[in-house]
Structure 1
Amino acid sequence: MVGLKPTDLAPTATVKFFSAGTAGCIADLVTFPLDTAKVRLQIQGESKPAQGGAGLKYRGVFGTIATMVRTEGPRSLYNGLVAGLHRQMSFASVRIGLYDSMKQLYTRGSDDAGIVSRLLAGCTTGAMAVTFAQPTDVVKVRFQAQVRQADGAKRYNGTIDAYKTIARDEGIKGLWKGCLPNITRNAIVNCAELVTYDIIKELILKYNLMTDNLPCHFTAAFGAGFCTTIVASPVDVVKTRFMNSSVGQYSNAINCALTMLTKEGPTAFYKGFMPSFLRLGSWNIVMFVSYEQIKRAVTRVQQSWEAPF
């Protein structure tokens, strides 16, 4: 991305690919409870819509977290973490690590990328990432949504069991359930997230408001997280509902969206907005700051290896 110092060795595509996957895992480890709370709030009401707010099990981000800790134990906040880490290593690596390479492809090698080239690059890497990582996303959402029953029974006994059970009961296509809304969601998320971060960081450096260091990365990442949440929340809710649904509950993602609209109203599309913002904002900050630092560290190691003795 922008802001490379003249004395720095430009990071290779491989370095960016590795750094993005690692940074994504670090960000997931830090923010996973917020993501789990978001999923619980998003699916709340799909089975038995509450009337006038009565009977709601989860209320607000921290209320949801407190309820889960009290009723299911602290470990429930990290349900699906293994699948989440699988997802980041395959997902973040592609959508973030290949963004600069794709941007150069659309600009035919030029470093002067316009908004259209950035948007195309974001859409492309977002769609590519979903194609590779969709099964890990399905399993992650299923784990985050599952509530331990009174008899201790669980929907899945482990991550590998979840992959096998879904493939056995729903077919291989079950692992790619919700792929279309997820492609849509991640095209939007990737554009909002990466393009916003890219532009904010570029403007900060252009007008010498900050140097290319942690405060700059923090500010750009926070702005990217806020913009992304506003744009992506409706698609994210539909994606979560559809991927967590039982066989035959919704005929497709559009039917899921229409059912939500008619039964719960337009506000249903922004269920879990606060945890989405807290999660995306904090995730972006941790991920981009980690990404920039890991990328620089790996590049320096690579440079020291290649330097003549």
Structure 2
Amino acid sequence: MEDADSHLIEAVEQHDSDSRLRVIKDVAAGTCGGIAQVLVGQPFDTTKVRLQSAPPGTYSGALDVIKKLLKTEGPTAFYKGTLTPLVGVGACVSIQFGVFEGMKRFFSAQNKQHGLVSDSLTYPQYYISGTAAGLANSVLAGPIEHVRIRLQTQTNTVPKQFSGPLDVIKQLRQASGFAGIFRGITPTFWREGHGMGIYFLTYEYLVNRDMRENGIKRTDIPGWRLCIYGGCAGYSVWLTAYPFDVVKSKMQTDAIDPSQRKYSSTLDCFRKTFQTSGVKGFFRGFVPTILRAAPVNASTFYAFELAMRAMG
């Protein structure tokens, strides 16, 4: 009896150890994906934010933003505020992938308990897993993106409004307290929750279809196809969640002083954006975003999959 108990304890301990190791691998691979995402996507994101937040008429389009940035601020302007997302987005994407992979294992276990033998989740389960990942990530992504956007939209005026990320946080706290750092968190929740649900659902659907139709394992899918699936996942996010991103950017580039702000809430920002610009106001900066979607998300998923294969 003691031997049986001993084997049972060893089995449980081994399972816990394997589970912890799996989580560490998920997070590490997600971090690799996040770093790749920032390095590829930052110039596109800077262009997008400038278009979203500038007063109407400042820029005629994405190419005009690029031309003016190169002329007045130089090529390094496209990487303004990169340090914050390089550290922060790596953490955010690691959370996304860590939570998503954890939810996949949870639903897979639930499916097996109900007698389902397939390793694939249902489409609603993929969506819920992605939504959970997005909501978990939002708590970190909201303030990180707020700091990044403040630095991205800062011009080369002297003296500069912000000396760096820590100064942004300091000024936000002085003006609005801790809540000021989290301004725009509501549209961030909507964008990330729904967006990541669609994002991961699209990618997993394409990967599963590839494995089923070609009779191969996930690790046998060639890199170029993974890049295509990642690009499609990126398109799916922005085609369905972009208006929330516009509202978030408007709120996070509003005046730091609460008494001088244009928007009192998320709903107020939606209302005033529609009143001044109509439906098209919710799609300002869409061109650089959709151009960015394919290379950024292709690199994100490719880096993640490669890291997972390397770690086993």
Task: Identify the TM-score tier after normalising by the shorter chain.
Answer: 0.7 to 0.9
TM-score (ref. length: structure 1): 0.85
Q: Deviations over 1:139-161 (max 9, x none)?
A: 01111122222xx2222101121
Q: Deviations over 1:227-255 (max 9, x none)?
A: 21211111111111111111332110110
1:107 is displaced (CA, Å) by 4.4
Q: Which is worse superposed, 58-67 or 110-119? A: 58-67
Aligned length: 280
Determine whether 1:244 maps to 2:245.
no
Asked if structure 2 preserves the Cα contact closer than 8 Å seen for 1:107 and 1:117, the reply is no
Determine whether 1:194 maps to 2:195.
no
Determine whether 1:68 maps to 2:63.
no
Q: Distance in 2 between matches of 1:30 and 1:132?
A: 21
Alignment-mate amino acid for residue 278 of structure 1? L
Determine whether 1:214 maps to 2:223.
yes
Mind listing any 5+ residue stretches in structure 2 that lack a counterpart? Answer: 1-17, 112-118
Q: Deviations over 1:157-210 (max 9, x none)?
A: 011211222122221101111111101111122112111111111112211198
Q: Distance in 1 between matches of 2:240 and 2:252?
A: 20
The equivalent of 2:79 in structure 1 is 78
Asked if structure 2 preserves the Cα contact closer than 8 Å seen for 1:224 and 1:284, the reply is yes
Structure 1 or 2: larger helix share?
2
Alignment-mate amino acid for residue 249 of structure 1? K
1:109 is displaced (CA, Å) by 4.6
Q: Which is worse superposed, 256-265 or 21-30? A: 21-30
Match of residue 226, structure 1, among 215, 224, 235? 235
Match of residue 144, structure 2, among 136, 140, 150? 136
Determine whether 1:28 maps to 2:41.
no
Q: Distance in 1 between matches of 2:141 and 2:175?
A: 20
Residue pairs, 1:1-309, within 5 angstroms: 12-45=22-55, 49=56, 56-110=57-111, 111-149=119-157, 152-208=158-214, 211-246=220-255, 247=258, 248-299=261-312
Q: Distance in 1 between matches of 2:179 and 2:222?
A: 44
Asked if structure 1 preserves the Cα contact closer than 8 Å seen for 2:173 and 2:180, the reply is yes
Percent identity of the aligned residues? 25
- Classify the secondary structure of the residue corresponding to 2:245: helix
Q: Distance in 2 between matches of 1:59 and 1:221?
A: 30
1:22 is displaced (CA, Å) by 2.1
1:87 is displaced (CA, Å) by 2.1
CA RMSD of aligned residues (A): 2.0
Asked if structure 2 preserves the Cα contact closer than 8 Å seen for 1:143 and 1:156, the reply is yes
Q: Deviations over 1:262-307 (max 9, x none)?
A: 01111011111111111222110111111111221233xxxxxxxx
Alignment-mate amino acid for residue 200 of structure 2? L
Q: Which is worse superposed, 97-106 or 28-37? A: 97-106
Q: Which is worse superposed, 128-137 or 230-239? A: 128-137
Larger Rg: 2
| 144 and 13 in structure 1: CA distance in 2 versus 1, 3 angstrom threshold | same
Alignment-mate amino acid for residue 203 of structure 2? Y
